[in-house]
Structure 1
Amino acid sequence: MYASLALAGLAVEAICGYPRWLFRAIGHPVSWIGRLIAWCDNAWNRPSHTFARRRLTGILALAVCLAATAAVSVGLVLVAHSLLPQPLALVILGVLASAFIAQRSLDEHVRAVADALETRTLDDARHAVAQIVGRDTTALDGSAVSRAAIESLSENFSDGIVAPVFWMVIAGLPGAALYKTINTADSMIGHKSERHRAFGWAAARLDDVVNLPASRLAALWIAAAASLLPGTSARGALSAVRHDAPRHRSPNAGWPESAMAGALGLRLAGPRVYGGKTVEDHWMGTGRTDATAADIRRALRVYQLACVLQAATVALLAAALVFG
């Protein structure tokens, strides 16, 4: 168990996030992983190959990316523990681990959508939400923009924060790094386009598996936060999860989305347009669809408290492991 490392990573990320100047200077670990995935895709995903061969090379590409990630992350851990005193090694590894957690950046991106809706134009809000969703945003009205922002906040709370922390607690820095490799591969090649239906099959299936525990935990943190905030409903969150989460086209995204929908008294998800094609999906929750910037800010308060509850739980676990 690596709860102390996860707590250090959460603390560093909450305080300073991933500095923009550092990203401009050297990029980000996820962008490095992405370049390796893109290289494998360009080199090995040949349209002339059979479906079975493309699936096999997709499995090989994922294995190569995971092996590279494991080698680098395990090497960093071994070097830190062999050369540094234990407290300093924890601090250094915590700084490295913070790069795989996205609490601050997610808050900033979603808050930018609410700011645009309240103080600028609808086109500005569409542009802001396009930074965090994959759907077509050019025709979204204000309610649809608000719902899209809340849906992205909910889903990314699960796979951008809860999941890396969960795997960090289980397997340390390599656990978080390997999780982000799988999640990045899924986002890049795991979709059902003609090019990636076969090549990205392994990434998509493995991403579904590694996100199973985090999606359930994310729904729990959202419901727990709703129980402590005025104007939100833990009962509504749990009811929506029970009735709607299994109906979502994703085995995982429906859990945090339905929890947030029920907590806020909204309906989220439903039919959406991706690449000019309408994707039919069940609505999450039974509330209203006319969401506003005020609802985005309510969702952010739920999200922030859910992050605090997760960090407090990790802190208690770390204390129990140290003093138990």
Structure 2
Amino acid sequence: MSRAFSRAAGLAFGVVADRLVADPRRFHPVAGFGTIAAGLESRLYRPTRGRGLAHNGVLVGAAVTAGLVAERLTLGRPGLHVLVTAASTWVVLGGSSLEREGRAVSTLLEQGRLPEARRQLTHLVGRDTRTLDADEIARAVVESVAENTSDAVVAPLVLGGLAGVPGLLGYRAANTLDAMVGHRNERYDEFGWASARLDDLLNLPGARLTALLAAALGPDPRGALEAWRRDAAGHPSPNAGPVEASFAGALGLRLGGSNTYGDRIEHRQELGSGRPPAPYDVARALDLARRVDTASALVAVLLSLACGGRRPLGRQPPRLRAPALVRRPPGAPRRTLPRIAGW
């Protein structure tokens, strides 16, 4: 089995595992990484970009190194390489958990349990949910589903297809650090700068692919592309903008508006030109996200088949065997020439 094929198989099995076995609510490896990151932050923190760069470099570098070691240890062991790649893919993906949380909010809205829906929504968004009505909750879920389809599924699969286990683990480390310290507030404006910028860079290809797939697989491809072209640049995030705009146009919705974060209110540009989301649109957004997830898995497999055959770092070229000597026939002189292939 070639290296490219074992990577592709591992990615495919990891995607299936994520669908069958959602992230555990406790003792998840990413949560363990977050604990380590918080401990290192308590020792390194200063409100400077240099300290933030060191914090990010140590943690992301450690994740990438772990991936390189895993790739090196599975050389010549295709079955083990499939298993390690599948496990890494399952660890970094969050598509099943995203759908679980989104459908939980949708169910509460359908049952008219608004207070419980507000509390459940805090699992998906960082904004203040205490005063949101049903339609505002639905908007928040659709926006989160769109953005996290890119962050939690498509972007890691793209890097996994291109770079294997190091790409998967490195991406998840960078994305987790951005969620922890990449905030524009007094504490993290400087310290979290490196984490936010690296996450933006790593998400560039995944976000564009997500926007394209949402346009191609949604009910209104032309509307999705138009909303992306017209509205995405007005979003404060260079990656969430294209994705949310494409989802909005594809579903015939209008996203964006005012969001409250503690004592701060953000007024974001509206994305799309349709109607405001209603509670039943949550299910539509989740169905589109699942189609995008499936298509991105196929793209990742194709990328791995195209790029996965390269020799991993640290692998030595095979040693040349010494040429065999020609058997001396009876009566021939003892000195012989080596038999060289092609001569």
Length-normalised TM-score, structure 2: 0.83
CA contact (8 A) 2:53 2:194 kept: yes
Give the aligned residue type for 1:127.
Answer: R
After superposition, what is the alpha-carbon deviation per residue over 1:137-156, rounded to whole angstroms, capped at 9, x for unaligned?
Answer: 00111110000000000000
The answer on whether the counterparts of 1:225 and 1:309 sit within 8 Å (CA) in structure 2 is no
Query: How many residues matched?
Result: 304
Match of 1:282 in 2: 269
Identity %: 36
Q: Deviations over 1:246-283 (max 9, x none)?
A: 11111110111001111111111222111121112101
Structure 1: give runs of 5+ residues left out of the alignment.
227-231
**Which of these residues, 91, 102, 105, is aligned with residue 99 of structure 1?**
91
Distance 1:179 1:106, change over 3 A: same
Task: Name 2:321's counterpart in structure 1.
Answer: none
Which of 169, 176, 196 does residue 161 from structure 2 map onto?
A: 169
- Whether the 8 Å contact between 2:10 and 2:84 is mirrored in structure 1 is no
Q: Deviations over 1:154-204 (max 9, x none)?
A: 000011101110110111111111111111111111101111111111111
**Cα drift, residue 245 of structure 1:** 0.7
What is the one-letter code of the residue matched to 1:117? L
1:240 to 227, 246, 262: 227
Question: What are the residue-to-residue correspondences of 1:47-66 with 2, within 5 Å?
Answer: 54-66=48-60
1:306–1:198: structure 2 CA closer, same or farther, 3 Å change rule? same
* Match runs of 1:1-324 below 5 Å: 2-18=7-23, 20=24, 24=26, 27-46=27-46, 54-81=48-75, 85-226=77-218, 232-289=219-276, 291-317=277-303
Structure number with the higher helix fraction is 1
Residue 315 (structure 2) aligns with? none
Deviation sequence 1:36-66 (CA, Å, 0-9, x none): 22112211214xxxx5xx2111111111112
Alpha-carbon separation, structure 2, partners of 1:305 and 1:273: 31
Q: Which runs of 5+ in 2 are unaligned?
A: 310-343
Report the structure number with the largest CA radius of gyration.
2
**Distance of 2:243 and 2:307 partners within structure 1:** 29
Aligned-residue RMSD, C-alpha: 2.0
Task: Measure, in 2, the Cα distance between the counterparts of 1:295 and 1:59.
Answer: 40
